[in-house]
Structure 1
Amino acid sequence: MRSYYLAKIREQNPLIHNITNIVAANYCANGLLALGASPIMAVAIEEMEDVPAISQALVINIGTLVGKEIEAMLLAGKTANKLGIPVILDPVGVAATQYRKRIVAQLLEHIQFSGIRGNAGEFAYLAGVDWKVKGVDAGKGEANLNSICQQVAQKYQTIAMMSGEVDVVSDGNRIATLHNGTPMFPKITGSGCLLSAISGAFFAVADKSDYFNAAVECCSTYAIAGELVAKSLKETQYGQFYTGLLDKLAEISAQEVEQNGRVNYV
């Protein structure tokens, strides 16, 4: 696979606006900095017209919904759409509660998302496919994951990025399966949230017509970084993996991505 947008992120240092959850905010900010982007973690509704205007992408993560945050997400998303900057949705645990279902439905109704990044359980719910979920975890089901990802992309006219043992990316027509990664990812809090955050950086430096390839490169880069870090660790060294992932995002090269990437198009 090619690596084109990683270098552009480091050259352009795009400002990525994150409305994310309190569990992962610090990690997402540091991950974006490590990669070469610049984070702004503004959540006050009073700023939701000003901040998108100075940003190159917006990432909305519903992990910990509180107070006026929903209103802020809606206003920021609508503003970003008017400005033409990409908007990414991370529908954390959307199937876990009726409240999350209602909020995600509201966001999807009023905001056009350039990308949606989530796990199999979240995507199955969005696609209307039967699935057993446990809180914010991916859960289990029998449906075809490639088909679920493609359905989400088609239903919401977006780039769907589904994380798992095998990552899947679809634009509704094309499907890419990504075979890098490590079982250590789900053992640290915020790993999925960070991927959503850095997808904002990849989309920020890409043309709209090439968001699919930007998403494939983003998910591959992230999975490869984790895979390379895990190789030098014991399988229980989650703390070392947590910090090592940030270090690797800072140093990973386009050559490493191209040499290690295992992408199939189906």
Structure 2
Amino acid sequence: MEIREKILANLSAVKEKSPLIHHITNYVTVNDCANIVLALGGSPVMADDLEEVAEMVGFASALVLNIGTLNSRTIESMLVAGLRAKELGIPVILDPVGVGATKLRTNTAEKLIRELKPEVVRGNMSEIMVLAGQNVAIKGVDSIADEQGSSFIAKRFASELSCVIAITGKTDVVSDGRQVCLLDNGHRILADVTGTGCMTTSLVGTFCGVTKDYFTASIAGIISMGMAGEIAQATLRHGEGIGTFRARLLDSIYNLTPEILARDGKISYE
């Protein structure tokens, strides 16, 4: 089955099955992540207390871990939930937000990768470069690395970790260590809204909840956000800005159809 056909089948499966996606995520974007999963057709749960995470993940189809607002309590919850997910064969999707900015973030991300062996790691160029052992400057939790060499880094790091590496940016790059897919949908305004990266990871997690092909699921989640960004931006009128865009981004995901994906998705391979 060709990649576009797989993506379309995955979107239909999400809307049909409404997979439960367990998040242990950051409090800045938790509401946005929940709403984007609902808009796509999934069912989010945001449980992070140590007393229930292992039980909750047992009901889920995927586990999304996001280190955007770390604390010692949620780090332990991530490890407990992640280990239980691995026991049950539930995919773990890691978003290493701001890794490299502090030792806590870097050490935590490295520990989660080492102990949980996530199926997908989704980050910006700076974050993936830090995890791959490349020198890069970090400003807060934002990327200031350029995208030169992103395909090479994604492929090599995916092969090293035996997982899918997804680098989002002007051109998104997804690799499973064997093949590299480039995605050219999106709009620069996405970077002006806090949480679009986190929401993208939630979309990836939702697609991972309906297939074992995590390479295709990652492509589906990222291209869905890119296309929704294009559609939402195109509706803006004079005087409207990122607040209106944010609401219409959710609308665009909610109204996304296999026909739209098939017609407007910009997918290529290296």
**Offset, 1:234:** 5.2
Pairs within 5 Å for 1:1-266: 1-2=4-5, 3-141=8-146, 143-207=148-212, 210-233=213-236, 237-266=241-270
* Comparing 37-46 and 125-134, the one that deviates more: 125-134
Segments of structure 2 that go 5 or more residues without pairing to the other structure are none
Pairwise CA RMSD: 1.3
What is the one-letter code of the residue matched to 1:213?
A: T
- 1:155 CA displacement: 2.0
Return the letter of the residue paired with 1:190. Answer: G
Q: Is the 8 A contact 2:110 2:131 kept in 1?
A: no
TM-score of the aligned structures, taking structure 2 as reference length: 0.95
Provide the TM-score with structure 1 as the length reference.
0.96
Give runs of ≥4 in structure 1 deviating > 6 Å. Answer: none
Provide structure 1 residue ranges, at least 5 long, that are not aligned to the other structure: none
Contact 1:58 / 1:80 at 8 angstroms: preserved in 2? Answer: yes
Q: Select between 101-110 and 225-234 the one with higher mean Cα deviation.
A: 225-234
Encode CA deviations 1:197-253: one digit per residue, 9 max, x unaligned: 11111001012xx22122112211221111111112259711111111111111111
Distance (whole Å) between structure 1 residues aligned to residue 30 and residue 18 of structure 2: 19
Q: Is the 1:129–1:143 contact (alpha carbons within 8 Å) kept by the matching residues of 2?
A: no
Does the CA-based 8 Å contact 1:132-1:141 persist in structure 2? Answer: no
- CA–CA distance in structure 2, aligned partners of residues 234 and 135 of structure 1: 32
Q: C-alpha distance in 2, partners of 1:65/1:97?
A: 11
Q: Distance in 2 between matches of 1:123 and 1:139?
A: 12
Give the superposition deviation at 1:141: 4.2
Superposed displacement of residue 143, structure 1: 4.3
Q: How far apart, CA to CA, are the structure 2 residues paired with 1:52 and 1:142?
A: 35
Q: Quote the Cα distance in structure 1 between the aligned partners of 2:246 and 2:224.
A: 16
Identity %: 38
CA contact (8 A) 1:117 1:160 kept: yes
Relative to structure 2, which stretch is displaced further, 140-149 or 197-206? 140-149
